[in-house]
Amino acid sequence: MESAVASAFLKAVMGRLFMALEKEYSKHKGLAQEAQSLQLDLRMIAAVMDDQLRAMGRATTADARTAVARLHAEEMLDLAHDVEECVDRFLHRLTCRQHRGGAGAGASSSSLVRRMAHELSKVQSRSSFADEIQRLKTRVREAQQRIIRMKPTLDVLAGGGGGGGQLTGAAGTSSTAPSCRASRIPVGIAEPVEELLSMLDEVDGEPEQMRVISVVGFGGSGKTTLVKAVYDDPRAKDRFSRRAWVTVGSSPSPETSNGMKGILRAVFQQVLPKDAIDADGQHLETSLKEYLKDKRYLIIIDDIGMDQWNIIRSTFEDNGTSSRIILTTTIQSVANMCSHGNGYVYQMNTLGEEDSKELAFPGFRSPELEQGSASLLGKCDGLPLALVSVSDYLKGSNEPTGELCAKLCRNLGSHLKEQDGHYSFSELRKVLLDNYDSFSGYPLSCLLYLGIFPNNRPLKKKVVIRRWLAEGYARTDSLRSEEDIADENFSKLIDRNIIQPVDTRNNSEVKTCKTHGIMHEFLLNKSLSQIFIAKSSRDHPRLGVNTNARHLSFHSGELTECVASDEELSHVRSLTVFGHAGDAICYVRRCKLIRVLDLQECSDLDDDHLKYICKLWHLKYLSFGSNISELPRSIDGLHCLETLDLRRTQMKFLPIEAIMLPHLAHLFGKFMLHEDDVKSVNKMSKLQKFFSSKKSNLQTLAGFITDKSKGFLQHIGHMNKLRKVKIWFKHVEGSNNYIADLSRAIQEFTKAPIDRDTDRSLSLDSEECPENFLSSLDLETCSEGSKYALRSLKLNGELHKLPPFVNLLSGLTELCISSPMLTQVHLSTLINLNRLLYLKLVAYKLENFEIKHGAFPSLRRLCFVVKSVTSALPTIKHGALPNIISLQLLCQGPVGLSGIEIRHMKHLKEITINSGVVVQWEQAAKNHPNRPKVLFLRKVDPMESEERERPCAIREQMKITVAQPTSSGDGLNSSLNKIRLSEPPSSRLEMPVRHMVDGH
């Protein structure tokens, strides 16, 4: 809730502040009282913010915030950020001076002068800080007074916005549109209508039962239009003797009996003559249940919420007549819960290019229009409501032209604003504001944060979450961790379909995602207007207007002229550069309090620029691009750094100064310890002492290269917080000690600490080693009372058999194996892994593969990737894979059913193939009670692939490429990294859908 967010925000800020005050000034008399006063001032600010936000919550209408409430919430959020900046600037002046080493041994004769100046500056800092606190308190009082003056108006709005809400109904025999939101020009829905109609039928051999079909998608995606077409279809009319349509929306109050009665009455009026309804409205639920008990009915409930469904669902009991209830919602979790069990969830997709043009420019086509409208259609992103809004706007002119479309594209954001918007976009505006208003406090910051990134490429979930954590956008006053809060915020964005999954990992967790195009445009303009983001690009050359923004995002060298001034960019919390940065990267040193520096896609950053970056003491997240080849030892100046991403660099060696950063939690790349450091006894001793004293915070080390020099191997056992490791093995001739060191290091990592039960992930790549190298690794059986804590294991190399230690990993839940050939021997080794949830097997050829009855009782997702066109698919016996949800058969040759019987896989939801007999698989899916989706591999732009992060083997255009036995490079284990999947080709442009991939 908003009220909890403000105090949570300031609680973390105050904690850091007063710890510093106590440490720095405890020796000064009188400062304890000053510190206490400052603490009370900040607590008062937090309390006032909470009171105001609670008041705004009570003063809103039933269906959305008022514009006044929205502006006030934004003002209070901005104030919260300003309080943190005030504290950070104060702490920066204190802490940075302590680390500048001005008074060490051998100090010059001017040290006394420096100390006196330092004491004087501390007094000035305290005075300046107190003055700024007073200014913040004044701002709070002014905001409070504004709300008091507006309270009478807000009370009127709140009183007029409640009530029982409006319900609209379509008569059971009428084809009149049940809601004004249904598109006037249904386009591109022929195939979805057929698919939805097929869900009205029962599967042969299955008992007749009621099913709930949930149609879910972003607002304006055409859910109502699609369901209306199904409702009016003669086939639906013939199948159901009783039909009703109710549009709920967010107006009805589900907590009241009036809200429930309104829905039930609307249904009753359509399935039964009006004169048969209980006149006083009593016993509606009982009467409706009694009337429908032997009827086959179709009920449409448009735009429902979970609370409303929970209240009314008991009315619609399963009467064994194959009745159907179709719900529409914008919330994924609502759809999943409503259809849980024997129901279906239908996910709306966006329109393809041709359908988008037809909807936006009906009757008009010309080369000039095609070229001029491309960017505009890209922003609409196939959303029907956005395209209809564009069409309505263009109708106000004499005729649509490419020039007019280009102008609309430039100004589209302003049309989505409340005050400045064109009336043609009013309905679209409401959809976007409804999504915006569902977030507040820190989650609202997370939402606005999406505007930093370009909308034409996928976002990596873990990158976004790590950046949020570095920015402090996942704080809470609860006992939950910040990581859990950040993950929850991300899940809410997914749940509302604001961001859409592009790829998923082996465990079904979202890996990459994409912000919905029109929502991204709306958020970007919101962020720019609130000076939350300053963005400079061809489409948004606005950075020079205000350098007080908290987040700077630059495209293609626009940075120089914007910040080439003497002004300190003290408000800047993040800098993200895409493309050419020019000389302007030098000005990053003015961003004294910057937390995030994302230069992964900066094309002209080089080693010389790092001298500026290594002075950013508060930096928490840092990523570099391909031009960086060496880290300077001055990186030890990045005291607060938590994430260091070197995957796209050319770096081969890492200085120990980077490893010894006290707060570093996530280190990504492919490197070895610097040769000079490994040869230095003093440095290795220093590193050993650092790990042994438990000062390291390292959780992810992905990864490093090993050779005969021990390097990282001798230290893994002392990294007590390490959870994820990736190792590339280098070939070493005739070294038994090397194998012993590797085995010992892996065993140390995989054993669970006594005081923790941490899930751990290990990836081993032996592609550059002789065949069967991995099989020579030998781990001892754990002693009684201890166990192996490994949950995820990835093996890549030429494996004649699996390493013996795999069988010891009884707690393993995720396993990925890549080898030129995999046989039944490999599979037999895995039979005892009863907890395995995710299994991926990648090979040039499968030989004699058979999954027998009872095998893999816990497995949820199984993926085979086979390169050879002659290799046979595995045989899956009846009774195997009882809990399988996703089956992926990605083979180079044709993929027919091959004797695989999916009917007995009662939990199956999706089947993925890259080639094969489409009709066979679609028919098999229709004969399955769950009607699993049949997904097909498609080609994608290489820019969408995560494998840009590091050099990799050359791959074919089809992303199914799997290395043959003589391959080199990243090899088999990365073969899925570029796969995208889609449903069968149609006029609709399908969002890339889930598939199993590696990576961190």
DSSP 945-991: -GGGGS------SSTT----TT--TTGGGGTTTT-EEESSP-SS-PP
Q: Which amino acid is at 335?
A: A
Query: What digits encode the pLDDT tens for the residues 475-519?
Result: 766 678 889 999 999 999 999 999 988 887 766 788 899 998 999
Judge whether residue 265 has pLDDT over 70: yes
pLDDT computed for residue 977 by the predictor: 37
pLDDT of 384 higher than 50: yes
10 Å Cβ neighbour count for 317? 12
Report which of residues 103 and 215 the model is more confident about.
215
What is the rounded average pLDDT of the residues 177-181?
Answer: 45
CA pseudo-torsion sign 944, 946, 950, 952: negative
pLDDT-derived band at 786, boundaries 50, 70, 90: low
> What pLDDT is attached to residue 447?
94
CA separation, residue 74 to residues 79, 291, 421, 535, 965 (Å): 9, 50, 20, 20, 59
Percentage of residues in the chain having pLDDT higher than 90: 32
Q: Which of 520, 512, 516 is nearest to 459 (CA)?
A: 512
Question: What span, in angstroms and rounded, lies between the C-alpha atoms of 978 and 939?
Answer: 9
Structure confidence at residue 23 (pLDDT): 53
CA dihedral over 818, 819, 820, 824, signed as positive or negative:
negative
Average pLDDT in the 389-415 region? 90
How far is the C-alpha of 453 from the C-alpha of 447, rounded, in Å?
12
Three-state SS sequence of 140-163: HHHHHHHHHHHHHHHHHHHHHHCC
pLDDT of residue 787: 67
Q: What is the mean pLDDT of residues 341-366?
A: 90
pLDDT over 50 at 187, yes or no: yes
Between residues 167 and 197, which one has the greater pLDDT?
Answer: 197
The angle, 0 to 180 degrees and rounded to 10, between the axes of the packed helices 67-98 and 441-449 is: 80
Q: Higher confidence at residue 186 or residue 309?
A: 309
Residue 234's pLDDT is what?
A: 94
Instruction: Outline where 99-222 has alpha helix (H).
Output: 111-161, 190-198
Phi, psi values for residue 942, rounded to 5°: -55, -25
Contact 615, 637 (CB under 8 A): yes
Confidence label for 127 from pLDDT (cuts 50, 70 and 90): low
Instruction: Name the E strands within 336-480.
Output: 344-347, 459-460
> Hey, is 911 helix, strand or coil?
strand
Decide if pLDDT at 92 tops 80.
Answer: no
User: What is the DSSP-derived secondary structure letter of residue 176?
Assistant: S
Which of 63-77, 506-520, 924-938, 970-984 is predicted with the least confidence, judged by mean pLDDT?
970-984
pLDDT digits (tens, 9 = 90+) for 813-830: 999 999 998 888 888 888
Calculate the dihedral angle through the C-alpha atoms of 315, 317, 323, 326, rounding to the nearest 10 degrees.
Answer: 50
Is 273's pLDDT higher than 70?
Answer: no
**Tokens 């999916």 — which residue?**
902
The DSSP H or E segment spanning 935 is strand 933-938
Q: How far apart are CA 548 and CA 17, in angstroms?
A: 23
Task: Give the chain's mean pLDDT.
Answer: 77
The predicted model gives 170-197 an average pLDDT of: 65
Q: Confidence band (pLDDT; 50, 70, 90) for 524?
A: very high
Say what the pLDDT of residue 364 is: 81
Whether cis (ω within 30° of 0) applies to the bond prior to 703 is yes
User: Which residue carries 């399908």 as its tokens?
Assistant: 990
* Stated length of the chain: 1000
The token duo for 530 is 């609130």
Choose among 993, 893, 978, 894: nearest CA to 935. Answer: 993
Which of 466-480, 577-591, 642-656 is most confident? 642-656
Give the tens place of pLDDT for each residue, 11-61: 555 555 555 555 554 444 444 455 455 556 656 655 665 565 555 554 444
Q: Which domains does the chain have, with CATH numbers?
A: 1-96+137-147 (no CATH), 189-251+260-274+282-347 (3.40.50.300)
The pLDDT, as a whole number, for residue 27 is 42
Report the C-alpha gap between 474 and 708 in whole angstroms: 43
The single residue listed with the structure tokens 């004769």 is 109
> pTM (2 decimals)?
0.84
Cα 631 to Cα 729: distance, rounded to the nearest angstrom:
23
DSSP 466: H
| Tokens linked to 762 | 């290990």
For residue 691, the 8-state DSSP code is H
User: Above 70 in pLDDT, residue 936?
Assistant: yes
pLDDT digit string, tens, across residues 547-572: 678 898 887 654 444 444 445 677 88
Q: 537 forms bridges with which residues in the sheet? A: none
For residue 106, is pLDDT > 80?
no
Confidence of residue 112 (pLDDT cuts 50, 70, 90): very low
Above 70 in pLDDT, residue 991? Answer: no
Q: What is the pLDDT of residue 648?
A: 92
Closest CA to 703 of 651, 778, 771: 651
Tokens 């290795």 found at: 684
8 Å CB contact between 859 and 884: yes
pLDDT of residue 963: 34
HSE toward the beta carbon, residue 128, CA cutoff 13 A: 14
**Which residues, other chains included, contact 29 with Cβ-Cβ below 8 Å and sequence gap of 6+?**
none
- Amino acid 718: pLDDT: 84
Q: Residue 736 — very low, low, confident or very high, per pLDDT cuts 50/70/90? A: confident
Give the 3-state secondary structure of residue 402: helix
Question: Is the pLDDT assigned to residue 545 strictly greater than 70?
Answer: no
